[in-house]
Structure 1
């Protein structure tokens, strides 16, 4: 197989893979959720110390809404369960309407994605769950200082009084959720607190063409590290993940954004008192998927009060933010099997951004850096191609000379390669070595919420959206087409035609790619053309000098 056939094979394989992923690959089936007010609501996660469970099949009903506004979010808390039912991210616009904020949590328009909490105990089945109706001090709150507290009071349960408090902080997507439990009864109380994210299986807003990223639950512990489970696996009762934990988090991931209950914040101790007190549970229940953590509290004697705070992170997968919230939260930027390549490349991208303070120019500098690192490999590949191109006229004459005698033609070609010291596969190996890195760069840029609403120059105000005027995709198509003239032409006429058509066909997909991704590939192609042109000219000049001497 010569280098041109290898190139055709690689490019067509990537094209087929992307087309399959877009049009044929199985996608999470949208759940047939009726209006939120009538969606079936699963019971609380199983308590590992209490046998009592909420037995009624209550619905996800709507009570009074408490509205909360900060500088970065708008939230709605329902008095039923004290659930966080609506969360809009004010610093991120909607993928479908740039004039609206991004809607992360919601129970409207047939969607379900909410955060729920509750308490269960064998000795007191009347403790407040996500079905209990709380009372609130007021119906709306606005953050004016550095923090804001929203207190919800549950009805007394056999002498036990519970207050749930949300704490919102300025400039933060980290929401504190605290239970204050006062045991005014006559018997000891050993409650279990649960923290759950409940959502449907519909694709998130703005799921890109040719860019289907993971949507679903994930857990992280210091012992078992990052583990994710697809909705399909949950529906089938499959999926391996850590069930017991002493730290870590459980969350729901989607492209650019995530939610997570954090058992051990970066600057605080774990809420787990031992290796048997915290548990994770992922499941499919009545067409809704849940990711939950349960925490067994110490026994609260009569007259005593206990408190537990578990933060909820609900916001963008911004590396600089995630690394300040909890260990392992940065793994939500899921690069799959190319993590070993994508992670250091993204780290380098952030460092370059720190120098130029512009994500577009950081991508250009990243492209230059990667190109410089791979210069020896690409130079060897281009020298091999340049030598093959110089031999193209002789190949054509040999083809005419031997006609239909393919065996003699191939023998003569191999003799020519041997005498000219040319390896027809010499340009292939360097290219193959670079492929994992290029794929890693693809995923590093694709998963970067930092590029969302990030300007570059002119009309490029959001590098995570496609180029509105298709200038970069056209430049990329033109550079791919130009490269075909710098490479040795295939001896097969059909291959020659394919090499002319393929750049246009393949580049069509990039019309739907984020502008930041296309910027990388366009700059890379321009640099490749310059390098290949220079090497071709150098070889031509050296041959001329050799003929003259």
Structure 2
């Protein structure tokens, strides 16, 4: 019967989700209290070999406000110490903006840069700035924040942050003016430094979802490589350490920061001969570093060099990620079902462009999927209609053979053969839909576009559970209706179990994202309509056949 297949479908789906999560927890364990890293972990730059602690030194703060970002730069190291995403709400209070980078709150998570060379400024040097507040004015496309530090032998060094309108990319430029009498050779390093604590709102457990938090590297040769914090503690990280392209990132659910060495449609900043060196490691103070080092062109006496690297600090919006760098869309983690989830989300996004609401887009996507699978569903429901017609004869066979299950099964199979009914004919549509169901689950979990996105009435966040559990209740009701339309099981005990299954599985769905439950409610309603229509059609065909 259809309910049996539905139970099989959901059970297999839950099983895949459960074992996938257990595998992810084993492979990418999250540290609630990160252990202190060993002193043997040293930074890429010589200056970083000095003792580090979890507490960063503070200087004067410089604030920058744009349409998308509110940032703070500290004159100590000219670090980017805080980034607030103005258009995204905080986890526990959507009225407040979401904080991605910070060094004075729950987390330590900052972007640092420095120069490698005798007397050149590092992320520990003190810089000066002309003012402490900058803002992107109306009509401006960008705002520059210039910080300066003293260099050796007449060398002048400036670090210039460029914040652009409608962009989560921040240009970080080193300006070197060689006022000395000797050629200047130097390297520049760029790193993201953060603790190993999971972000607020990260859920784990059977009904939650394990999402990766940690560093990642992408190169054309090595492709996308994630490394969990535990492997960095053990010194077991395996990734592409040298390349002439790519990017290095810190990834978490919905949001990412990354140093981009080869922006899309632009030349790589890596040195032509030596390339870039990537380094992921633990550093003292319970912190982790994801960085890249590149050699700068030699600066002749009296010459000037400008070198810009872009820093991405923002959401994992597909349309945004696609414009940043090759492979950058991979930070949006769809799990092992990427091959299904990515195109599903693309279709969902195209529908959203038309309707402008993610809830209605999910409903229309569900209708589209049901239409795609209609031929399979029609076969399934035709089989079920015939099975329902045979239900009285099944009862007769059971009474005739009593407790002799062997003879009962033989008689049932003979009846199916005579009536040309395949009892497994309805399973295929359910099995085909399992990857679609799980892929949509991961697409909705990974989509920052749905984070705090409202649908209608009481649903204000499609990525969170239904606050009043209305959708899970509706799902139970639709499952019960489907049960009534399906052939009843011959076994009384099985029949009783079938009656409570809608309640049991609706409890499971209490914890699922509202967007996913919405999909399943609409899917059930359409299935009911399809099943009723096809059943009536089969009955009418049989009446015509009898009367002809």
Identify whether the pair has TM-score above 0.5, normalized to the shorter chain: yes
Q: Distance in 1 between matches of 2:18 and 2:504?
A: 12
2:168 aligned residue: 173
Q: CA-to-partner distance for each residue in 1:463-513, whole Å, 9 max, x for gaps?
A: 233333332222122212222222233334443333322322222233333
Corresponding residue to 1:148 among 122, 143, 151: 143
1:234 aligned residue: 232
Are residues 154 and 33 of structure 1, via their aligned partners in 2, closer, same or farther at CA, if it must alter by over 3 Å?
farther
Q: Distance in 2 between matches of 1:135 and 1:320?
A: 37
Q: Distance in 2 between matches of 1:439 and 1:308?
A: 45
Say whether residues 1:511 and 2:504 are aligned partners. Answer: no
Q: Distance in 1 between matches of 2:496 and 2:273?
A: 65
Say whether residues 1:198 and 2:193 are aligned partners. Answer: yes
1:85 aligned residue: 81
Say whether residues 1:294 and 2:289 are aligned partners. Answer: no
1:138 aligned residue: 131
CA contact (8 A) 1:380 1:427 kept: yes
Corresponding residue to 2:69 among 63, 67, 73: 73
Are residues 423 and 455 of structure 1, via their aligned partners in 2, closer, same or farther at CA, if it must alter by over 3 Å?
same
Q: Distance in 2 between matches of 1:459 and 1:248?
A: 43
Q: CA-to-partner distance for each residue in 1:140-179, whole Å, 9 max, x for gaps?
A: 2222122111111123234432211111112221111111
CA contact (8 A) 1:45 1:194 kept: no
Which is worse superposed, 60-69 or 17-26?
17-26
Are residues 75 and 539 of structure 1, via their aligned partners in 2, closer, same or farther at CA, if it must alter by over 3 Å?
same
**1:35-46 correspondence to structure 2 within 5 Å:** 45-46=43-44
**1:13-92 correspondence to structure 2 within 5 Å:** 13-15=12-14, 27-32=29-34, 45-46=43-44, 52-59=46-53, 60-92=56-88
Are residues 234 and 396 of structure 1, via their aligned partners in 2, closer, same or farther at CA, if it must alter by over 3 Å?
farther
CA contact (8 A) 2:211 2:253 kept: yes
Which is worse superposed, 361-370 or 226-235?
226-235
CA contact (8 A) 2:441 2:516 kept: yes
**1:96-115 correspondence to structure 2 within 5 Å:** 96-115=92-111
CA contact (8 A) 2:5 2:426 kept: no
TM (norm. structure 2) is: 0.90
2:360 aligned residue: 361
SS of 1:67 mapped into structure 2: strand
SS of 2:392 mapped into structure 1: helix
Are residues 514 and 4 of structure 1, via their aligned partners in 2, closer, same or farther at CA, if it must alter by over 3 Å?
closer
Number of equivalent positions: 537
2:269 aligned residue: 271
Q: Distance in 2 between matches of 1:337 and 1:513?
A: 19
Q: CA-to-partner distance for each residue in 1:226-283, whole Å, 9 max, x for gaps?
A: 2222333333333443222222211122221111111122243211232632122222
CA contact (8 A) 1:180 1:306 kept: yes
Are residues 503 and 241 of structure 1, via their aligned partners in 2, closer, same or farther at CA, if it must alter by over 3 Å?
farther
Q: Distance in 2 between matches of 1:317 and 1:136?
A: 32
Are residues 492 and 128 of structure 1, via their aligned partners in 2, closer, same or farther at CA, if it must alter by over 3 Å?
farther
Say whether residues 1:188 and 2:180 are aligned partners. Answer: no
CA contact (8 A) 2:31 2:229 kept: no
CA contact (8 A) 2:162 2:170 kept: yes
Q: Distance in 1 between matches of 2:39 and 2:70?
A: 24
TM (norm. structure 1) is: 0.90
CA contact (8 A) 1:183 1:304 kept: yes
CA contact (8 A) 1:367 1:520 kept: yes
1:410 aligned residue: 409
Q: CA deviation at 1:547?
A: 4.3
Which is worse superposed, 82-91 or 61-70?
61-70
Q: Distance in 2 between matches of 1:84 and 1:116?
A: 7
Q: Distance in 2 between matches of 1:227 and 1:79?
A: 33
CA contact (8 A) 1:8 1:499 kept: no
1:497 aligned residue: 496
2:202 aligned residue: 207
Say whether residues 1:431 and 2:430 are aligned partners. Answer: yes
SS of 1:154 mapped into structure 2: strand
Q: Distance in 1 between matches of 2:160 and 2:458?
A: 44
2:326 aligned residue: 327
Are residues 275 and 226 of structure 1, via their aligned partners in 2, closer, same or farther at CA, if it must alter by over 3 Å?
farther
Are residues 224 and 538 of structure 1, via their aligned partners in 2, closer, same or farther at CA, if it must alter by over 3 Å?
same
Q: CA deviation at 1:83?
A: 1.4
Q: Distance in 2 between matches of 1:222 and 1:23?
A: 30
CA contact (8 A) 1:219 1:227 kept: yes
Q: Distance in 2 between matches of 1:492 and 1:129?
A: 76
Which is worse superposed, 70-79 or 324-333?
324-333
Which is worse superposed, 311-320 or 382-391?
382-391
Q: Distance in 2 between matches of 1:364 and 1:320?
A: 22
Which is worse superposed, 531-540 or 179-188?
179-188
SS of 1:466 mapped into structure 2: coil
Are residues 404 and 327 of structure 1, via their aligned partners in 2, closer, same or farther at CA, if it must alter by over 3 Å?
same
Structure 2 unaligned spans of 5+ = none
